[in-house]
Structure 1
Amino acid sequence: MPLTEIDFSGAAQPIDGYAPGAFRIGGRVLHGAVLVTPMGAGPWAGMGDPAALPAALAGQVDVLFVGTGAAMAPLPTAFRTALEEAGIGVEPMATPAACRTYNICLSEGRRIAAALIPV
C-alpha cells in the first residue's frame, strides 16, 4: 500500500500531541483547555458560556469535535443546543479520539474545529 504524505497547507495546524494538562499544536505547546480551528489555536474557556463558542465559529466550521477529557462524557444541553442552532454539528468524544478525528478531517480539507479538555 502506498503511503501519502499529509499536507497541512496554509494556516491549518494539526494537533501534534497531548499530555496531561497540555497540547502541542502546530509545534506550539498550549496548557489547559484549547479551541483548535484551521485558522489557529488558543485557550478555551470551556462549556460555561453556551453562546460564546457558536458566535465565534458560525459560518466558519460545519462540525465541532468536543474532547471531554480521558473518557467520553455528555455535553450540557444548553451548550449542544446553542451549537446546533448556529448550524454547527457537535460530536462529543474522549479527547484522544477528538485529536485523531480532527487531524484526519483537517487533512481532508473539511471545515472542522475541536474544543479540547486536557486528559
Structure 2
Amino acid sequence: MKLTPTQFGGAAAVDGYGPGFFRISGRVVHGAVLVTAQGGAAWAGLDDRAPLLALAGQVDVLFIGMGADVAHAPADLVAALRDAGVAVESMASPTAARTYNVTISEGRRVACALLPL
C-alpha cells in the first residue's frame, strides 16, 4: 500500500508497505524495520532490544507495529523501554506506520519498530 505524502521537514517517513517489506523515504527494506527521523534500518524483531533501548533520550514515544494484526508487545520489553524513558504504543504495523508519519510531521520525537505483514 502507498501512503499519502505529507510534509516531514526532512524526517524519514514510511511511504509504503506490503507483504514482507516497508518503503522508508523511497528505500525498500525487507523484513522488520526500525524507523526514526534519521531513516529506516533493518531490525531483527522483538528479541533485538538494543536498538530500541538506544532510542532513550532521543524519542519520547515508540510505536511498535506487531504485523498485520493488533497485538501487545511483550510486557518485559515494554517495561524495559518505559524504565529507559520511552513510552510504548503497540498496534498493527499499518496503523503504527500511519501514526508515526502523522506525529513525525508534527515535529514530535517519535520512532516506530515495524514487524512485516
Root-mean-square deviation (CA), in Å? 1.4
Q: Larger Cα Rg: Structure 1 or Structure 2?
A: 1
Instruction: Report how far residue 77 of structure 1 moved.
Output: 1.5
Partner residue of 1:75?
73
Scaled by the length of structure 2, the TM-score of the pair is: 0.91
Q: Does 1:19 align with 2:18?
A: yes
Q: 5+ residue gaps in structure 2?
A: none
CA shift digits 1:10-38 (9 cap, x unpaired): 3x111001000000110000000000000
Scaled by the length of structure 1, the TM-score of the pair is: 0.89
Partner residue of 1:87?
85
SS at match of 1:41: strand
- Whole-angstrom CA distance in 1 between matches of 2:19 and 2:46: 20
Q: Does 1:59 align with 2:78?
A: no
Q: 5+ residue gaps in structure 1?
A: none
Identity percentage of aligned residues: 58
Number of paired residues?
A: 113
Runs of 4+ in 1 over 2 A off after TM superposition: none
8 Å CA contact 1:66, 1:115 repeated in 2: yes
